[in-house]
Structure 1
Amino acid sequence: MMDLDDVLTELSIRRAIYRYCRGVDRGDVHMIASAYHEQSDENHGPFQGTGREFAEYLVPLMDGSPTTGGHHVTNILIDRTGDEARVESYFIAFHGQPDGSRAFVTGRYLDRFALRGGEWRIAQREVVIDSDTPPTGTIDLSGYPRGARRDADPSHGWFD
């Protein structure tokens, strides 16, 4: 059974994930970065760096499209142990392309959240692509890990 602290933790984690998605869709570097701890580890396909560095990289890239995109988070599973939590969030994303079309991508954010300074934020993230409709002109998806079933999946063993 969840106690009040567990409920507040889950709400805080969900809000950080939602800030990230809104920041990406609205082109807001500060909002994206607010989902991460300062010394975070962001593994977004070929991009490796901190959450802030990723935000500063991503926003100009997404600005190259005349159409907006949308990131929609669906299932979120949180497994908290003390001041850390493993979090798997499914997403559906529509990425605007330079030609005005949109690419459809589904996948998962595999996050390790940490409570630091009273705030739950992403300490480490890996993005897994489950499916996409190529070509994606703005984002190269070839460097991303791909989802699979059972023990071949990057999240295998997370919630045993």
Structure 2
Amino acid sequence: MRDEHRMARMEALLDKQDILECLTRFSRGMDRFDRDLFLSAFHGDAIMAAGPFVGSPSDCYDWAAAMHEAGQVATHHNLLNVSYDIQGDIAHTETYYLFVGRNRDESNWIAGGRYIDRLERRDGQWKIALRTNAIEWSGRAQTLPIPFADVPGISDNGAPARDKTDPSYQRPLTNRRTRLNPAAD
């Protein structure tokens, strides 16, 4: 009995991990403007409801990417607390999020809310079937210079980018910067 209980818990943990990775693909795909990664979080017949948009994930990506490209030079869709209700091959999740955008006018926009999703496991893969976005607050954050932007060679390992030139895509990740310890100088 104990082994059966332990195996059931392990299966639940694996499901939660697969779901979390799915949710993360959405955020990373949006922030890196990686359409394929974004869409990999959704079933082909999924529905998205985000702000004024209601429709397919592919149409949502096109709308949101154009909006973010026009308005911000960088975005971060941070995922916070995730609650799971898994019943067989259907899961309902509530994921708190914190959105931060560095706007083209050098201001910072910050907003928070929750993604409320129904995910389905089809062919062994968890993906979003329905997403609704509950935006609960928004504001502007004080703008400060980006730290260390004036350091020579700071981008030798790659500069942040909203495409696959971002250093997070580099395989294998390597260091191209010269060793330097400011405390030792």
In structure 2, the residue matched to 1:41 is 47
Larger radius of gyration: 2
Alignment match of 1:95 (pick from 91, 98, 101): 101
Using the size of structure 2 for normalisation, the TM-score is 0.68
Identical columns (%)? 28
Aligned to 1:119: 125
- Give distance in 2, aligned partners of 1:111 and 1:123: 7
What amino acid maps onto 1:41 in structure 2?
I
**Could you report, residue by residue, the CA deviation over 1:68-127 in whole angstroms, capped at 9, with x for unpaired residues?**
011111100000011101100000010232313221000000000000121100000000
Return 50-59 or 94-103, whichever deviates more.
94-103
- Which residue of 66, 69, 75 maps to 2:75? 69
* Residues matched between the structures, number: 134
Task: Provide the residue aligned with 1:149 in structure 2.
Answer: none
Question: 2:49 touches 2:55 (CA, 8 Å); kept in 1?
Answer: yes
Give 1:131 shift: 0.8
1:133 maps to which residue? 139
What is the aligned-residue RMSD (CA, Å)?
1.4
Q: Which has the higher contact order (CA 8 A, sep 6+)?
A: 1
* Runs (5+) with no aligned partner, structure 2: 141-185
| Amino acid across the alignment from 2:76 | G
Where has structure 1 moved over 4 Å in runs of 4 or more?
none
Gaps of 5+ in 1: 135-160
Q: For residue 148 of structure 1, what is the aligned residue in structure 2? A: none
With 98-107 and 70-79 compared, the bigger mean Cα shift is at 98-107
